[in-house]
């Protein structure tokens, strides 16, 4: 046994045969000089054989600057005296207290001393200097002890540790433990001493060991001790540790069973697996009920239960286990302080299960049944409560109570029927609710979704009548749609040109002429749909065209220019046709901006009047025409000075240029003087006048015609 552990010993039981030495003539404290006090303290007070004891001499009221000398003495159980060598201590100036520490047994004692005898050892101190009035100056008040066991008092399930010293190395020794009352042997073991002559052993105390004083003896095969190694100790009932009491739930509903559990642990750390405990359950109203906890070998816990009732008061309930309320069946009890747990009890939520079809045809009777159960699975009947049922439409507007809903004791079911009238089809919630007469009442509700066959809605719409042109707003009206068992809640339009719309009365315009299939899809409040399809014809808008003349008069052979402005609001100009009124027609691709034409009148013809017509064609085939104001075309007028076309004046210019070039070349060739080559400009001018004569023009014209032929 470690020495520190031995300091906790407070009780020692030894055989009555062991001597109790008196302290006659030995004073625990003495003052050789006025005011000086001495104490001798052994630590620990009890130790096992083979260990040592620390002796502490404390001196107070000492004289400063003084040499103190002491002898320590120990008398063992065999009455042998062991004295120490002289222990010196000199106080310093001003020092009035000091201490001297010696180990027993140790080399400080002559012969070292012994610690191998069971019994009481007496220690004291004699002062040599300064000379005291009397010795000893201090003694151990109750001596100190070397024993065999590591404790003098045990609880069941603990282990007795045995140690004896002073034997020969490897000596065989017998260790026996017996009850004092009946001398029943509980341990008979053989041990071999260590090389240091120490014999050790142990005994695990059973949880059902007799509660008695016990005697342990160690007997060596060769070594005989006086006194012999024999010592007594006490075994008491085990104090069982129960740290907590737990509840399987922190929150219970009425009719549920509360369950409380705990584990019980012996001093050796093992868990108890036998016995019973008496618990007390106190309700929210203060009434208490005792319940018994028994061991559950599967859960390895002690469990107690309490079945609540449908009308128990709700609130905080407490289960408690009082001091020593548990007994393992062998007299070992616990806990040393009461433990408790406090769960909450609340109203019971009734569990309702509805059984019925999920879909009902138009006019079909709705039949269903339901079970209403408490948390403990007991049934709510018409004798213990009441129930109701109703139908709620998902689209709103209907909350119909089912009056034919009763408890069938034969089937042990709540049974209900309902015959729909003009209720809308779609999803409905079938709800069953129940409650009992407790205060406050326990209640519950459940809902099952069912579907009533829907009456399909009718889709119908109208739109703007008459001819509808492109880009014109077309009004659609779907308000004629209806639902025989509900209401129309959605209008979805597709206009045939990739566009969509919503609402009962949308408007839409088409940019391209054509035939379009328009669809209206209506949805009723049950989710059913219907479609109406109609054809809308969009008429193309014709193109526009205007023209402007460069002149409303012209001379035969001169050109007339027209400026054309054409457009198509819902497409493009494909071709343009210009009818000049003289049998000539121009066809132009796309939208032209201008065109021109030259009118020619036969020689000798009188003037003529022409009207120009411009016709444009768009990409849809539509046309539009514009007509000009009349154009007056005059023939070429005759005179003495005949007018020539401009190209004749060109011919004249060429002839003159040729004449000049020829003259210049002649000048270069013949080196004539400027005077001789003087040109008679007047003659040239006269010749040019002659050329302008009609007769000359006619001869030239005739010559050109002849050349062509």
pLDDT tens digits along 405-454? 999 999 999 999 999 887 888 899 999 999 999 999 999 999 999 998 88
CB 540 within 8 A of CB 514: no
**What percentage of the chain reaches a pLDDT higher than 90?**
70
The least confident of 465-474, 504-513, 564-573 is 564-573
Selected residue with higher pLDDT from 655 and 477: 477
Among candidate residues 8, 63, 1, the one with its CA nearest the CA of residue 31: 63
- CATH number for the region 3-147 comes to 2.60.40.10
Written out in words, the top-level CATH class of the domain with range 462-539 is mainly beta
Residue 357 has pLDDT above 90, yes or no: yes
Instruction: Compare 696 and 592 and report the one with higher pLDDT.
Output: 592
Residue 542, token pair as written in the block? 């014709």
Contact 658, 644 (CB under 8 A): no
Over residues 241-265, mean pLDDT: 98
Please give the pLDDT value at position 204.
98
* Dihedral sign computed on CA atoms, order 264, 267, 270, 272: negative
The pLDDT of residue 408 is 96
Residue 469, classified by CB atoms within 10 Å of its CB into exposed (0-12), middle (13-18) or buried (19+), is middle
Q: What is the mean pLDDT of the chain?
A: 87
Query: Exposed (0-12), middle (13-18) or buried (19+): which is 453, by Cβ within 10 Å?
Result: middle
Fold of 153-236: Immunoglobulin-like (2.60.40)
Return the SS3 of 228: coil
Find the range with the poorest average confidence among 85-94, 149-158, 638-647. Answer: 638-647
Dihedral of alpha carbons 122, 127, 128, 133, sign: negative
Query: Which contacts of 214-217 are long-range, i.e. CB under 8 A and separated by 24 or more positions?
Result: 214/177, 214/178, 214/179, 214/180, 214/186, 215/15, 215/177, 215/178, 215/179, 215/180, 216/148, 216/149, 216/160, 216/162, 216/175, 216/176, 216/177, 216/187, 217/174, 217/175, 217/176
Structure tokens at 694: 């009609």
| Lowest mean per-residue pLDDT among 383-397, 504-518, 629-643, 679-693 | 679-693
Give the pair of three-digit tokens for residue 318: 């407490």
- Average pLDDT in the 91-110 region? 97
User: Residue 24: helix, strand or coil by DSSP?
Assistant: coil
Report d(CA 318, CA 42) in Å as an integer. Answer: 51
Residue 189 pLDDT greater than 80, yes or no: yes
pLDDT in tens, 197-226: 999 999 999 999 999 999 999 999 999 999
Domain 246-346: give its CATH superfamily.
Answer: Macroglobulin (MG2) domain (2.60.40.1930)
pLDDT digits (tens, 9 = 90+) for 26-67: 444 444 445 899 999 999 999 999 999 999 999 999 999 999
Tokens found for residue 333: 């009890």
Question: CA 456 from chain center: how many Å?
Answer: 44
Question: What pLDDT shows up at residue 570?
Answer: 81
Query: Does 245 score more than 60 pLDDT?
Result: yes
The per-residue pLDDT for 692 is: 41
Topology, domain 544-634: Immunoglobulin-like (2.60.40)
pLDDT for the residue 603: 74
The neighbouring-strand residues paired with 101 are 56
pLDDT for the residue numbered 453: 87
Exposure string over 611-625, b if 16+ CB within 10 A, otherwise e? ebebbbbbbbebebe
Per residue in 294-353, pLDDT (tens digit) is 999 999 999 999 999 999 999 999 999 999 999 999 999 999 999 999 999 999 999 999
What mean pLDDT comes out for the span 589-612?
A: 86
Residue 525's pLDDT band (boundaries 50, 70, 90)? confident
Q: Backbone phi, then psi, for 500, in 5-degree steps?
A: -130, 165
The pair of three-digit structure tokens given for residue 97, joined into one six-digit string: 């207290």
Contact 436, 422 (CB under 8 A): no
DSSP states along 356-372: E-SEE-TTPPEEEEEEE
Asked if 540 and 568 touch (Cβ cutoff 8 Å), the reply is no
Q: How much of the chain, in percent, has pLDDT values that exceed 70?
A: 85
CA 354 to the chain's CA centroid: 33
User: CB–CB of 654/575 below 8 Å?
Assistant: no
Residue 16 has pLDDT above 50, yes or no: no
CA 685 to chain centre: 116
Superfamily classification of domain 351-452: Macroglobulin (MG2) domain (2.60.40.1930)
Q: Tokens standing for 464?
A: 């703007």
């Amino acid at each position: 046994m470690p020495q520190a552990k031995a300091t906790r010993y407070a009780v020692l039981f030894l055989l009555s045969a062991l001597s109790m030495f008196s302290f006659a003539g030995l004073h625990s404290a003495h003052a050789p000089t006025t005011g000086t006090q001495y104490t001798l303290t052994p630590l620990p007070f009890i130790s096992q054989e083979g260990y040592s004891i620390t002796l502490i001499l404390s001196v107070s009221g000492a004289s400063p600057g003084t040499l103190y000398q002491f002898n320590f003495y120990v008398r063992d159980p065999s009455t042998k005296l062991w004295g120490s060598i002289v222990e010196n201590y000199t106080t310093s100036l001003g020092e009035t207290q000091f201490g001297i520490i010696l180990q027993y047994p140790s080399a400080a004692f002559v012969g070292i001393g012994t610690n191998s005898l069971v019994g009481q050892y007496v220690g004291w101190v004699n002062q040599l200097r300064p000379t005291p009035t009397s010795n000893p100056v201090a003694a151990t008040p109750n001596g100190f002890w070397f024993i065999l066991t590591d404790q003098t008092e045990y609880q069941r399930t603990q282990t007795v540790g045995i140690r004896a010293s002073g034997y020969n190395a490897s000596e065989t020794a017998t260790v026996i433990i017996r009850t004092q009352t009946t001398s029943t042997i509980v341990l008979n073991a053989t041990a071999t001493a260590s090389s240091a002559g120490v014999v050790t052993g142990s005994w695990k105390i059973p949880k059902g060991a007799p509660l008695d004083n016990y005697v342990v003896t160690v007997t060596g095969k060769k070594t005989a001790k006086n006194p012999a190694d024999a010592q007594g100790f006490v075994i008491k009932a085990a104090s069982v540790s129960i740290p907590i009491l737990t509840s399987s739930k922190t929150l219970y509903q009425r009719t549920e069973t509360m369950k409380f559990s705990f584990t019980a642990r012996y001093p050796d750390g093992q868990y108890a697996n036998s016995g019973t405990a008496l618990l007390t359950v106190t309700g929210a109203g203060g009434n208490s009920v005792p319940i018994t906890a028994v061991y559950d070998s599967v859960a390895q816990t002690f469990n107690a239960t309490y079945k609540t009732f449908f009308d128990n008061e709700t609130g905080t309930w407490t289960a408690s286990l009082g001091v020593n309320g548990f007994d393992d069946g062998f007299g070992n009890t616990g806990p040393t302080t009461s433990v408790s747990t406090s769960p909450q009890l609340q109203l019971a939520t009734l569990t309702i299960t509805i059984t019925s079809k999920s879909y009902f045809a138009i006019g079909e009777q709705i039949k269903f049944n339901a079970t209403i159960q408490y948390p403990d699975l007991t049934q709510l009947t018409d004798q213990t409560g009441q129930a109701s049922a109703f139908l709620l439409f998902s689209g709103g507007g209907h909350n119909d109570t089912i009056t034919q809903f009763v408890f069938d004791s034969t089937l042990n079911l709540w049974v209900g029927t309902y015959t729909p009238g003009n209720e809308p089809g779609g999803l409905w919630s079938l709800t069953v609710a129940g409650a009992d007469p407790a205060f406050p009442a326990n209640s519950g509700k459940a809902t099952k979704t069912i579907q009533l066959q829907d009456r399909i809605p009718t889709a119908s719409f109208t739109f703007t009548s008459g001819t509808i042109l492109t880009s014109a707003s077309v009004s659609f009206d779907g308000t004629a749609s209806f639902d025989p068992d509900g209401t129309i809640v959605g209008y979805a339009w597709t206009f045939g040109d990739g566009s969509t719309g919503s609402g009962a009365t949308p408007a839409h315009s088409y940019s391209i002429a054509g035939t379009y299939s328009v669809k209206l899809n209506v949805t009723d409040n049950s989710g059913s749909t219907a479609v109406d399809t109609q054809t809308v014809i969009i008429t193309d808008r014709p193109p526009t065209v205007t023209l402007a003349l460069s002149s409303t008069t012209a001379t035969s052979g001169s050109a007339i220019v027209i400026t054309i402005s054409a457009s198509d609001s819902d497409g493009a100009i494909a071709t343009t046709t210009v009818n000049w009124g003289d049998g000539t027609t121009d066809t132009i691709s796309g939208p032209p901006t201008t065109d021109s034409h030259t009118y020619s009148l036969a020689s000798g013809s009188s003037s003529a009047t022409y009207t120009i017509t411009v016709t444009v064609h768009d990409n849809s085939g539509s046309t539009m025409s514009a007509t000009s104001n009349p154009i007056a075309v005059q023939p070429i007028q005759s005179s003495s000075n005949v007018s020539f076309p401009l190209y004749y004046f060109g011919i004249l210019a060429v002839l003159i240029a040729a004449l000049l070039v020829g003259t210049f070349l002649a000048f270069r060739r013949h080196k004539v003087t400027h005077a001789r080559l003087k040109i008679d400009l007047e003659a040239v001018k006269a010749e040019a006048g002659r050329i302008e004569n009609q007769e000359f023009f006619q001869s030239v014209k005739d010559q050109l015609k002849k050349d062509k032929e």
